[in-house]
């Protein structure tokens, strides 16, 4: 099962900072510019219900998931209520929730304001998705191409292209890839992490799928950093010792990945004409909250 952050932490992230390599920090509660739609790709941080509609055991359509969602129902979101993609769509004034693209109840009008392609347990590496039989990045991109066709059929090609070029593309990936590396002895683990983490982002952000998305008109991206993975409950239970401390080796791997991702965002902005790419740092504020709980209202 993917190690999802709690919904309360995700809510806190929304009011923290969005870091842009073009212009410093801005409020995530009011993203720079205006967007007609949000399109979400990646893992359980953003998945709004796609996994319950595919052949995977990685699902969360049962209590206590969804207990804080409107109506108290489990919708396949990996949290108590709304997930990050919903919160960004809501705070941006677009709509209250971001519907999963595979939702059989998806309406044509939902296409205009955006949908979610993300799949809990997915990652940058195809093998990460294969381990849990979830939607890989390639599969998500193929769904995006279906979305483009449906959108054009509903609003016409010209209007659809306007929506595609002005929408915000929200991406969260890398968390599960790093987690899956934590199955080796210490020396091998460190070597594996350093060898793979530095190339994970490069492999995705320069991949055919990402370039093709840009080729279809996507211009505005917000890439989420990974979580402080060593502080997730499963990591603290299995590797945090008797006190259940954060597993620093896993946090170091996440921090290394994030540093590479930041450099790539800068490179992409410099090399993709017309692209406007931001880095949303959720690692730093979450780690700050975890390390200093009294400052943020320890329960």
Q: Just list the catalytic residues.
A: 44
Q: Are 81 and 66 in contact (CB under 8 A)?
A: yes
Q: Please tell me whether residue 25 adopts helix, strand or coil conformation.
A: strand
Q: Report the length, in residues, of the chain.
A: 299
Q: How far apart are CA 223 and CA 221, in angstroms?
A: 6
Task: Using CB atoms within 10 Å of the CB of residue 166, give its burial: 0 to 12 exposed, 13 to 18 middle, 19+ buried.
Answer: middle
- The one-character DSSP state at 273 is T
The token duo for 186 is: 């210490």
DSSP string, 210-227: HHHHHHTT--EEEEEPPP
Q: Cα 125 to the chain's mean position, in Å?
A: 15
Which residue bears the tokens 């917000």? 222
Strands 38-42 and 17-20: unpaired
- The one-character DSSP state at 151 is H
Closest CA to 255 of 296, 223, 287: 287
């Amino acid at each position: 099962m993917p190690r999802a952050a709690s919904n309360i932490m995700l809510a806190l992230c929304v009011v923290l900072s969005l870091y842009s390599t073009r212009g410093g920090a801005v409020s995530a509660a009011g993203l720079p510019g205006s967007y007609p739609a949000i399109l979400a790709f990646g893992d359980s941080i953003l998945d709004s219900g796609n996994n319950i509609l595919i052949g995977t055991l990685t699902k969360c359509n049962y209590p206590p998931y969804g207990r804080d969602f409107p109506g108290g129902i489990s919708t396949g979101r990996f949290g108590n209520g709304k997930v990050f993609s919903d919160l960004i769509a809501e705070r941006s004034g677009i709509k209250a929730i971001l519907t999963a693209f595979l939702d059989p109840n998806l309406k044509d009008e939902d296409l205009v304001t955006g949908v979610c392609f993300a799949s809990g347990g997915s990652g940058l590496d195809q093998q990460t998705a294969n381990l849990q039989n979830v939607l890989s990045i390639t599969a998500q991109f193929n769904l995006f191409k279906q979305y483009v066709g449906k959108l054009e059929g509903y609003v016409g090609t010209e209007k659809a292209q306007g929506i595609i070029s002005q929408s915000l593309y929200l991406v969260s990936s890398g968390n599960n890839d790093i987690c899956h590396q934590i199955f080796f002895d210490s020396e091998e683990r460190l070597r594996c992490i350093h060898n793979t983490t530095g190339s994970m982002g490069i492999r995705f952000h320069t991949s055919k799928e990402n370039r093709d998305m840009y080729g279809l008109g996507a211009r505005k991206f917000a890439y989420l950093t990974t979580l402080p993975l060593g502080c997730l409950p499963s990591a603290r239970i299995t590797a945090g010792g008797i006190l259940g401390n954060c597993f620093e080796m896993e946090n170091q791997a996440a921090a290394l990945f994030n540093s590479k991702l930041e450099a790539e965002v800068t490179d992409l902005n410099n090399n993709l004409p017309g692209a406007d790419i931001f880095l949303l740092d959720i690692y730093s504020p979450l780690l700050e909250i975890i390390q200093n709980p009294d400052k943020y209202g320890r329960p």
